[in-house]
Amino acid sequence: MKRRHFLHTLAATPLLAADAPRRAPFRVIYSNDLTNITSCVSPFHAAREPFRAEMLEASIDEVAGSVDAHFLQPGLGVVPLWPSKVVDLKEHFAWIKERYGQRPDSFSQFVLNGGDIVRRFINRCRAKGQAAFISLRMNDAHHKEYVDPKPGDKPGSSIGMSVTRWYAEHPENRIKPGSLRGADLVLNWAEPEVRAQKLAMIRELCANYDLDGLELDFLRFYSYFRPETPLEQRRASMTAFVKEVRQMLGPQKWLCARVPCYVTALDELGLDLQALVATGLDMVNASAHYFTTQQHDLAAIRKMTEGAALYFELCHTIWKGDKVQAGYDVFPYRRATREHLHTSAHLAYARGVDGISLFNFAYYRQHGQGEGRGVFGEPPFEALKALRDPQALAKEPQHWFIAPGWRSPGAKPPPVPRKVAPGKPEKFNFDLASPRGDARVRIQADKRLTGSEWSATFNGQALAATDDVSEPFAVSFPSMLAKPEELRAWRIPANLLREGKNSLEVTQQSGEACSVLFVDLALGQAT
């Protein structure tokens, strides 16, 4: 039996017995935000070239054989990017032209011209042996800061994907009306009409397309309720919503939710994972929203999601810098290397996940605006195949890291950046899985450390310093790497490493106060 038919058959198998619940068979899933197709320079897209259906097909083809399921995000989840009766697209874009002076983006124009992005996506996935999922953003914030036109605003054509007439005319349904931040201007899910609009889009997708599954992306964005909304009401609203979606899909389609990988962030969104699985959620995609991270609560989330397949999301970056100008996609970022990706996947498997998901993977490619954003290039697609093999990953060299991220609402602050005062020890914790061999650990500061003195212990034992502060593995995308004078390094004997929690404690003995921005620990090729 051909693999694609096997996957499709599994996806169409109903529950056979209460004591034998089905389990999603996918090991590696790939998220495609669609907009990368025209925002990135790639082998199938030149800069500023408008969308063509062949570009969508090429974005599916390039991961064929490496992923089991392909998750397409058709736009921002606000305006349908398919022939729709929920939103009259001709009427909508006439209003956009009148209010904002903008024409349709090239994806929407494709649909207005009679094209069907979702159907082309499904057909190509089936031809390439990938299960076809639609991933729908539940409360996207992009471009909402432009909802009320102001002199000098330049919203661009993407405004047509972001706002509707109803949204513009009902500011009372926003989380924080009057704010100038897009993240404050998303909709308040305590309002039944808000949830009903999203359900209408999902109902149309379920009725018109033979999807293998649907993902509810609750991380675009991290805001659904006003602060005064009680936790019980949040959970009741979200659980009822997921239950209704489950009924729309029927028993044969897979239902996935993209959720925070931090337990303390779940209540902020009203996500009771145990209750959601009980209502029929098949797959849980745990994510740090934008980054690959190794600091997460996967072990605890595994216990909350028994009966569902659990995935951990890897992204194209581990750390972003400050904006170089106003706008979107205008910051430098440190790309995730093969070793970052594989070590993070290895840890996730060790903490109980069933598979790995990829998010924003296309954005290694040239995109965005501004100087100094780093070297761009083709994504490391060759790194994907190993993600399905936990045993092989466990034998590879390991690159552990602690990097800055975004503080998700309800989550603890990131462990770095961390201010360090002379004479005061600072502790950094690693969660290691099956570490083997000697290691080298480095800290990166926000300034030159020339002339300062440092000491370090690992799991309570003093470490010997080394002058070797070089990168432990090859770096294909050298962006935001430290200068040698901003680094300190120590060697760790193999006998100090242990499974699970490990603690590095560093003390600045002398020199100017600084902040530690990044910490990494390498095994296998550490020198």
What pLDDT, on the 0 to 100 scale, is given for residue 410? 85
- Tell which residue, 404, 403, 454, 449, has the closest CA to residue 425: 454
Domains 3-286 and 418-523 share a fold: no
What pLDDT, on the 0 to 100 scale, is given for residue 455? 99
How many other C-beta atoms are found inside a 10 Å radius of the C-beta of residue 491?
A: 17
- Distance of alpha carbon 145 from alpha carbon 163, whole angstroms: 10
Is 418-523 in CATH node 1.10.3720.10?
A: no
Under the banding of pLDDT at 50, 70 and 90, the label for residue 362 is very high
SS3 115: coil
Q: Which amino acid is at 427?
A: K
- Distance of alpha carbon 263 from alpha carbon 490, whole angstroms: 33
What pLDDT, on the 0 to 100 scale, is given for residue 408? 82
* Cα R_g (the chain), whole angstroms: 24
Q: How far is CA 170 from the centre of its chain?
A: 30
Q: pLDDT tens across 274-293, in order?
A: 999 999 999 999 999 999 99
Residue 507, strand partner residues: 455
Q: pLDDT tens across 431-462, in order?
A: 999 999 999 999 999 999 999 999 999 999 99
Q: Residues with Cβ < 8 Å from 67, sequence gap 6 or more?
A: 28, 29, 30, 130, 358, 384
pTM: 0.95
* Model confidence at 62: pLDDT above 80: yes
What pLDDT, on the 0 to 100 scale, is given for residue 69? 99
* Model confidence at 14: pLDDT above 50: no
What pLDDT, on the 0 to 100 scale, is given for residue 526? 40
Report whether 487 contacts 468 (CB < 8 A): no
* Model confidence at 253: pLDDT above 60: yes
- What mean pLDDT do residues 29-35 have? 98
Write down the mean pLDDT value for the chain: 94
- What mean pLDDT do residues 62-75 have? 98
* Model confidence at 10: pLDDT above 70: no
What percent of the chain has a predicted confidence (pLDDT) above 70?
96
């998750």: which residue's tokens?
71
Residue range 3-286, CATH number: 3.20.20
- The phi and psi torsions of 70 (rounded to 5 degrees) equal -115, 125
Report whether 341 contacts 384 (CB < 8 A): no
Q: Which residue has the higher pLDDT, 324 or 478?
A: 478
Residue 355 C-beta-side C-alpha neighbours within 13 Å: 22
- Distance of alpha carbon 283 from alpha carbon 22, whole angstroms: 11
Under the banding of pLDDT at 50, 70 and 90, the label for residue 331 is confident
Domain boundaries, given as residue ranges, for the chain: 3-286, 418-523
Q: How far is CA 278 from the centre of its chain?
A: 25
* Model confidence at 428: pLDDT above 70: yes
Q: pLDDT tens across 75-105, in order?
A: 999 999 999 999 999 999 999 999 999 999 9
- What mean pLDDT do residues 37-62 have? 98
Q: Which residue has the higher pLDDT, 325 or 307?
A: 307
- Distance of alpha carbon 136 from alpha carbon 73, whole angstroms: 6
What pLDDT, on the 0 to 100 scale, is given for residue 374? 78
Under the banding of pLDDT at 50, 70 and 90, the label for residue 152 is confident
What pLDDT, on the 0 to 100 scale, is given for residue 6? 40
Q: pLDDT tens across 391-402, in order?
A: 999 999 999 999
- Tell which residue, 470, 471, 516, 463, has the closest CA to residue 490: 463
Q: pLDDT tens across 195-225, in order?
A: 999 999 999 999 999 999 999 999 999 999 9
């490619």: which residue's tokens?
365
What pLDDT, on the 0 to 100 scale, is given for residue 21? 66
What percent of the chain has a predicted confidence (pLDDT) above 90?
88
* Model confidence at 265: pLDDT above 70: yes
